[in-house]
Amino acid sequence: MIAVAGLASADVIVSYSYTDLDGTYDASSGTFSAEATDNGTLATGGDVSLLIGAKGTAEFDTGFFGLGGLADVDITMSISNVTGSSADGVGMVTLTDTDGDILSASFTGIWNIINPIGFMFFSGTADDYEFTDNGQADGVFNGTTGSFDMSSLVGNLFDGAISLLLRNPGGFGDDFAKVSTQGDGILIPTPGAVLIASVGALGMIAPRRRR
């Protein structure tokens, strides 16, 4: 077993990426959401990957939401300070695997809106990404295809980022729905984390824990 005192800040522990989320905005409440769907127009697909130790990928096949399982994506944020070219966003991301385990975080960030074509980019950061072992409590994050061992990650908090991309020429000027939205994110070690690495396994010692 090899002790590694802290990973470099550039070392990404986990990444995720989803395509064709259902982007929706309610102008009256200032609420934006991007959710998994299989609505005949959009069919969400994606993956969550562990990039260190016993690497693995939980893949969520295109249209997984229509299979009726627990797998889901829910990104919700409150939009404020809206202008023609920017807006602020504060929200929550929750990724659920096939048996109910979740990866979640709260985040803050900024929207950039490129007119007149209507490209909308969100860049946000989080300091409380967390895995929660629900369902079978098996320590595994399961996709419709593939999985990875998350047991060493459960109960710890991680820094990270989230980005969203969509196109809506009206920006946040009015309601919209069923807008294809792409979502990506990464998790990195918190400062001061000490990792214990072994062949095919990863343990965590003294990272920042939820209180």
Sheet strands (E) in 115-175: 119-132, 140-142, 147-149, 158-167
Residue 128 corresponds to which tokens in the numbers above?
A: 């409380």
Give 156-170 pLDDT, tens digit per residue. 999 999 999 999 999
Vertex 50 angle, CA 45 and 51, to 5°: 115
Which residue has tokens 């989803």?
18
What is the model's pTM? 0.87
Give 55-88 pLDDT, tens digit per residue. 999 999 999 999 988 999 999 999 999 999 999 9
Instruction: Delineate the domains of the chain, giving CATH numbers in brackets.
Output: 11-190 (2.40.160)
Residues in Cβ contact with 113 at an 8 Å cutoff, skipping those fewer than 6 apart:
84, 85, 86, 87, 119, 120, 121, 171, 172
Starting at the edge strand that comes first in sequence, how are the strands of the sheet with 2-4 ordered? 2-4, 194-198, 201-205
